């Protein structure tokens, strides 16, 4: 299985909105509503930010939102804050009953 495709980096100024894409195939992203997003700060374990394409776990800011269209899922961070600077990974369930991660996106707050 091939990793889902994400942009290597995305940047924005404080207060701005940014969007990270996650492109797969009909066998993963496009075929199931089981896309989730994780935030990872350096030296720490990833943290679940979004599950089931659009849902936020308890305690996650509503500045984080997500969607899916066809084989591409997207994570939007609005009102960008310095603490949002981190790596972000998408993941999807696949038709082989496995999971595949995205390539990862480094978000920089300018």
**Site for another protein, rule CB under 8 A:** 1, 3, 34, 36, 38, 40, 44-48, 51-52, 55, 57, 89, 91, 93, 96-104
Q: Which is nearer to another protein, 13 or 42 (CB)?
A: 42
Q: Which is nearer to another protein, 34 or 64 (CB)?
A: 34
Measured distance CA(71)–CA(89) in Å, rounded: 16
CB of 102 to another protein, least distance (A): 7
CB of 80 to another protein, least distance (A): 22
Instruction: List the beta strands (DSSP E) in the chain.
Output: 9-12, 18-23, 35-40, 47-50, 64-69, 72-77, 86-93, 99-101, 105-109
- Residue 31 token pair: 């075929």
CB of 17 to another protein, least distance (A): 24
- Residue 58 token pair: 């308890």
Q: Which is nearer to another protein, 17 or 48 (CB)?
A: 48
CB of 45 to another protein, least distance (A): 4
Reference 50, options 71, 23, 73; nearest CA is 73
């Amino acid at each position: 299985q091939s990793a889902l495709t994400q942009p290597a980096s995305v940047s924005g100024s404080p207060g701005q909105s940014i969007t990270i894409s996650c492109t797969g195939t009909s066998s993963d992203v496009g075929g199931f509503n089981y896309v989730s997003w994780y935030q990872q700060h350096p030296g720490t374990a990833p943290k679940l930010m979004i599950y089931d394409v659009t849902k936020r776990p308890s305690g996650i800011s509503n500045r984080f939102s997500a969607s899916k269209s066809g084989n591409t899922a997207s994570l939007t961070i609005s009102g960008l804050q310095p603490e949002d600077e981190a790596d972000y990974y998408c993941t999807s369930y696949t038709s082989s009953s496995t999971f595949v991660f995205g390539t990862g996106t480094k978000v920089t707050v300018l």
